[in-house]
Structure 1
């Protein structure tokens, strides 16, 4: 049966019937006019629901004392959290792209369009590599228009008869960049990881990596980037973030480790706490401190908006330990 259309006033009446306190109807209505009801209420209702009473009534029923403002506060917190993380994920994305392009290009300095040569990739999965090359070709075509002599790549084709990877990679999505990284030869991947660890060592007081890159380091490094990609997708699509746990395209939890940290490392759980520690590998000390400061500000605001029990539930779902600030500050 199709869901009947409801006006904003009808929506507010239904929320009151479900035990949500709305002290300022005009303000609540203005929020519903501006925001999507489904995203706001259905997206963030879960910690506010009285599950026993909801089951008994076979309809959503909220805990006593739940207010419309509390649900909206969590909604705004999550939006701000997405915006904060997205900024530092984009920084990380640029850092990863830069190192991939530099290392691959340094290994093929005189070969034009070296990224179209299947022999420059690992030979374990030719079908996967062929698909990658087709993707790179498609991105090249999309950004070049030979008829109008325009597009960001046209200058390189016209003037240099070449398109360096460090130019092409700027137009790749993080998913496409990950595909490129997965298909590189292991020796190339190791050099990229070395470059990342070298930069981290110069931006941190703690470093576990030695001159030898163990096989599990490389595996966890690639999984870490896959985890960052998963969080980027959540931020980009404006999905609920605070209780998100990193999953691969098959819906299975992504497993990695904080192999680059030189002191006792927490177990990877795939939540917000973990993504912040993964971003630490790629961020400068200053940017990492700024990230922590902005996160703390948002949590402090939310703490004043929610009852302590609900705020604790939010931080639990974020996988934040009780001493999360001191834990994350260890890695500055």
Structure 2
């Protein structure tokens, strides 16, 4: 097929939505948001408000009777607030993981432990990750990196507590998984309240897509993620189990549950869970279930305590 859809002005976009059954009183109000958010971006949020198609595959593009533009806009605003809240937590988790890994590795193996291939399980993966680090630091304009290059010649890379500040969560999770020293890993595991090293590694790896969605301002609300989190037996009364109906374990609920566990380990007095519940209460149960939330989640001890 050849794509031949013509571009539409914001006024024409608003008119098209009205023709498809969307209710609103002020076209200028709708055009304002279309011009600042985008028709295509908003369409992901009005999809649940559309009537089902006759074949169950293609989109009908007609709205359910009574659907208003404000309903769609409020769902979009909810998702934006949800991303900000998730990113706040992941930032805290990422910084804590950097600090724990660099601190344990340096105390046990020296300031430049990251350069010692014998400390890592797979030398090929270590060489790959170290090479990426070298390339990025060579071009870095960070003050502390420039200072090290100007002042020191050996070793040619800064110490581990400096270079770790340049690692993304994805890169950091790879370095952690490849680390050979189980003493280091168990120290980090206990500091985050994880039951095993394997689960800890799986959790940090699986959080990377969440972090990337938030960082790139993509839709988080009802997204289905390719990888699921490790199932934690002691959280069996909280988490959606593997092979849950409608692939609930691949949606956001389990991730938010594990993020809350990590946040409590970092800061037991954190208000993050309270603020998350307050935000969730602004949407209806069906919209909560689109994130994988079970119908009785509010009464489960994990959330009620």
* Stretches of structure 1 lacking an aligned partner (at least 5 in a row): 145-149, 201-207, 210-216, 248-252, 303-310
Unmatched segments (≥5 aa) in structure 2? 242-248
1:319 is the counterpart of 2:292: yes
User: SS where residue 153 of structure 1 aligns?
Assistant: helix
Contact kept in structure 2, 1:197 and 1:281, CA below 8 Å: no
Q: 2 CA distance for matches of 1:262 and 1:242?
A: 23
Counterpart CA distance in 2 for 1:174 and 1:317 is 26
Seen in structure 2, the aligned counterparts of structure 1 residues 68 and 267 have a Cα distance that, compared at 3 Å, is: closer
Does residue 254 of the first structure (1) align with residue 254 of the second (2)?
Answer: no
Corresponding position of 1:234: 213
Query: May I ask how many residue pairs the two structures share in their alignment?
Result: 292
Q: 1:165 aligns with which of 151, 160, 172?
A: 160
| Cα 1:40/1:56, change in 2 over 3 Å | closer
Aligned-CA RMSD value: 2.8
- Aligned partner (choices 3, 10, 17) of residue 15 of structure 1: 17
Deviation, 1:275, is 1.4
Cα distance, 1:191 vs. partner? 2.9
Shift, 1:56, TM fit: 11
Other-structure match for 1:89: 90
Match of 1:220 among 199, 203, 223: 199
1:329 Cα offset (Å): 4.1
1:127–1:199 distance in 2 versus 1, CA, 3 Å: closer
Indicate whether 1:137 and 2:142 are aligned.
Answer: no
- 1:299 matches 2:280: yes
Alignment pair present for 1:197 and 2:190: yes
Give the aligned partner of residue 144 of structure 2: 152
Give the TM-score normalised by structure 2: 0.84
Counterparts of 2:28 and 2:173 in 1: how far apart (Å)? 47
Match of 1:245 among 184, 204, 224: 224
Matched, 1:280 2:280: no
Return the alpha-carbon distance in structure 2 between the equivalents of residues 56 and 180 of structure 1.
Answer: 42
